[in-house]
């Protein structure tokens, strides 16, 4: 089955700096890569996704890049704000959706 | 309002006492699934259902059962709960469109403690 590795597990950045979270996947048939944000005590919510026919996607301060050859994809958050503090999960979908173990992002004011 | 609901939100029980966590969605989604979330392990899929009367095991199905008698409901059943099933559980649904990928909508979560 699919295996998704996510790094780092924790990340602290100063407000206004950029944050990058990286994921690798094992199943070359995976073709959908969403990112979810989970605030403390709340449910995961989709923040951005990318499909395998696209190399990069951007939505305001958030961008995701995909390298299908290397089987890795990354989340980039620019100009971080305290409200970006949360746990972020990457996922890859081949037959089923498989999640990474999560990255706890702390943005220090 | 389009949503996924779960009940109960919190449950403390004892080993061996059967329990059911309900999940319901009002979006007419075909696909529903259950996840458990444990610190450092992320979200792991327990069971999923691609439509009424169609269910299949996810990555960690041992100790759980599900049913899908109606499109909107997907209950999670623990016949004989054990302490290692103490976890945060999420139900999720998504429309199933062949060849497409869609956002999963998560319920609010059920925090289960098995003593």
Q: What is the DSSP string of A40-95?
A: TTS--EEEEEEETT-SEEEETTEEEEEETTTTEEEEEE-S--GGG-EEEEEEEESS
CA distance A93 to A51: 10
What per-residue confidence (pLDDT) applies to A1? 79
pLDDT band for position B27 (50/70/90)? very high
CB contact under 8 A, B108 and A99: no
Mean pLDDT, residues A1-30: 95
What per-residue confidence (pLDDT) applies to A53? 81
pLDDT at A96 over 90: no
| Range with lowest mean pLDDT among A67-81, B14-28, B36-50, B84-98 | B84-98
pLDDT at B99 over 90: no
What per-residue confidence (pLDDT) applies to A78? 97
CB contact under 8 A, B43 and A45: no
Q: What percent of chain B has pLDDT over 90?
A: 85
pLDDT at B77 over 90: yes
CA atoms within 13 A on the CB side of B104: 31
CA distance A82 to B63: 40
What per-residue confidence (pLDDT) applies to B102? 76
Q: Point out the residue among A1, A42, A101 whose CB comes nearest to the CB of B40.
A: A101
What per-residue confidence (pLDDT) applies to B98? 60
- Name the interface residues of A facing B (CB cutoff 8 Å): 1, 6, 9, 31-32, 34, 42-46, 49, 51, 89, 93, 96-102
| Range with lowest mean pLDDT among A58-62, A81-85, A92-96, B107-111 | A92-96
Q: What angle (nearest 5°) sits at the alpha carbon of residue B32, between those of residues B29 and B35?
A: 150
Q: What is the dihedral of CA A64, A5, A38, A29, to 10 degrees?
A: 60
Helical (H) or strand (E) element with A11: strand A10-14
pLDDT at B101 over 70: no
pLDDT at A29 over 70: yes
pLDDT at A51 over 80: yes
Structure tokens at A76: 């980039």
For A31, nearest residue in chain B (alpha carbons): B101
What per-residue confidence (pLDDT) applies to B69? 97
Average confidence score pLDDT of chain B: 93
Looking at the DSSP bridge assignments, the partners of residue B105 are B93
pLDDT in tens, B79-93: 999 999 999 999 999
Mean pLDDT, residues B50-71: 95
Query: In angstroms, how far apart are the furthest CA atoms of chain B?
Result: 44
pLDDT at A73 over 70: yes
Residue A6 in contact with residue A18, Cβ under 8 Å?
A: no
């Amino acid at each position: 089955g699919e295996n998704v590795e996510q790094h780092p597990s924790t990340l602290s950045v100063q407000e206004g700096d950029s944050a990058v979270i990286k994921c690798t996947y094992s199943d070359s048939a995976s073709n959908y890569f969403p990112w979810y944000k989970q605030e403390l005590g709340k449910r995961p919510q989709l923040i951005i996704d990318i499909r395998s026919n696209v190399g990069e996607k951007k939505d305001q301060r958030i961008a995701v890049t995909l390298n299908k050859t290397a089987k890795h994809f990354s989340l980039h958050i620019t100009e971080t704000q305290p409200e970006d503090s949360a746990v972020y999960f990457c996922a890859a979908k081949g037959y089923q959706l498989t999640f990474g173990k999560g990255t706890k992002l702390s943005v220090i004011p | 309002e389009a949503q996924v609901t779960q009940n109960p939100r919190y449950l403390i029980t004892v080993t061996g006492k059967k329990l059911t966590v309900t999940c319901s969605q009002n979006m007419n989604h075909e696909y529903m699934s259950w996840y458990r979330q444990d610190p450092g392990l992320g979200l792991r899929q327990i069971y999923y259902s691609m439509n009424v009367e169609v269910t299949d095991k996810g990555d960690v199905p041992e100790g759980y059962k599900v049913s899908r008698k109606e499109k909107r409901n997907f209950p999670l059943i623990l016949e004989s709960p054990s302490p290692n099933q103490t976890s945060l559980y999420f139900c999720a649904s998504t429309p199933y469109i062949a060849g497409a990928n869609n956002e999963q909508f998560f319920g609010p979560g059920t925090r289960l403690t098995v003593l």
